[in-house]
Amino acid sequence: MEEKYIEYANNRFKGKSLELILSQIEDFYSDEIIDYTKYSENEEVFLKKGTFIHGISQGIKNFDWVVKNGFIGNDFTNLSETKNKIRNSIGMWNIKEDMFLKDYIQEYSGFTISYVVGKGEDCKTVSKLIPYHKFDEITENINNEEQIWTYWGNQTKEVRFIPSLVSNKRQIAFILNMESNYARKMSIADVWNLNIEDEIIKDFVDTRYYDKFIEERKNRDATTTDRESAIMFGLPTKLIEGVLVGRKVEKDTKMLEHIKEKLPNRYICNLDGKVIIGNNK
């Protein structure tokens, strides 16, 4: 597989972009050894700042492919006909501060609200997250604020792509430990990273979306979002520390056994943020 991806890179990229991708592929297939976080059953999972979470569509086939091959952008694998705005990379949810998994799930099972403050030339649009079951509390405050005249909202993107309290569409997500120097090095090759030149970014964004993306990249907010990463080429399976499952899979004994068989050294946790199958042995 490595040779296949190197061939694609040599045909697709040039200059600094090619150097970045080839470096990512080399690191991806290195023999680096990773220590896994240990949890016992019923312990609460704690996410360190910089932790990555990646959800997949339901099904053993997709799960098995990731476990065997890692997280790799669709353009390299040709396994999907979907053409994303951000290309040649793999999307990750990037934890912005130390927090318990249960709090993360509560926060991102809500929705994004935007509202206009003020009038005329002095008005500005503000976007923020509303956690699960906090809609009335937040909107009552907005309605009582004299400077705010209108607001609108959308589900968070996390609801679409990882297990949540409000949707059963996604049932499996991987939690990746990004604390090691090895992981941090790989995470630098992030399409959202402002330290990467705009000219390089052209190779990773749909041309029709490029100008808008460059602007969003510099002015990220809760809608854009300010918590996404897109790692060039991809990340290896060995960075997985645990698996988050939705309510359906939590009750599916066979699927839980399958997950544990494929990833014996990792923990499995639920939407309450608690470990249901530990790895502290």
Please indicate, yes or no, whether residues 142 and 271 belong to a single structural domain of this protein. Answer: no
DSSP of 176-241, one letter per residue?
E---SHHHHHHHTSBTT-TTS-HHHHGGGB-TTTHHHHHHHHHS--TTTTTTEEEEESEE-GGGEE
- Read off the pLDDT of residues 43-69 as tens digits, 9 standing for 90 and up: 999 999 999 999 998 678 999 999 999
Among 279, 208, 217, smallest CA distance to 242 is for 279
Please indicate, yes or no, whether residues 192 and 92 belong to a single structural domain of this protein. Answer: yes
Please indicate, yes or no, whether residues 126 and 70 belong to a single structural domain of this protein. Answer: no
Confidence category of residue 80, pLDDT binned at 50, 70, 90: low
Continuous segment of H or E residues that includes residue 256: helix 253-262
- Read off the pLDDT of residues 240-277 as tens digits, 9 standing for 90 and up: 999 999 999 999 999 999 999 999 999 999 999 999 99
Residues with Cβ < 8 Å from 262, sequence gap 6 or more? 63, 64, 67
Q: Is the pTM of this model over 0.75?
A: yes
201-214 mean pLDDT: 94
- Read off the pLDDT of residues 147-189 as tens digits, 9 standing for 90 and up: 787 888 888 999 999 999 999 999 999 999 999 999 999 999 9
Residue ranges in 52-192 assigned as alpha helix (H): 60-69, 74-77, 101-108, 135-143, 157-161, 181-187
Give the per-residue pLDDT at 126. Answer: 87
Structural domain that includes position 212? 2-100+159-277
In the predicted structure, residue 15 carries a pLDDT above the cut 70: yes
Please indicate, yes or no, whether residues 45 and 164 belong to a single structural domain of this protein. Answer: yes
Please indicate, yes or no, whether residues 90 and 194 belong to a single structural domain of this protein. Answer: yes
- Read off the pLDDT of residues 118-141 as tens digits, 9 standing for 90 and up: 777 778 888 889 999 998 888 888
Rounded to the nearest integer, the mean pLDDT of the chain is 93
Strand partners, 153: 113
74-99 mean pLDDT: 89
Please indicate, yes or no, whether residues 139 and 167 belong to a single structural domain of this protein. Answer: no
Give the per-residue pLDDT at 224. Answer: 84
Give the per-residue pLDDT at 123. Answer: 84
Give the per-residue pLDDT at 82. Answer: 65
Give the per-residue pLDDT at 81. Answer: 60
Residue that the structure tokens 């990340």 belong to? 235
Please indicate, yes or no, whether residues 252 and 165 belong to a single structural domain of this protein. Answer: yes
| Residue 176 located in a structural domain | yes
Cβ neighbourhood burial of 245 (10 Å; 0-12, 13-18, 19+): buried
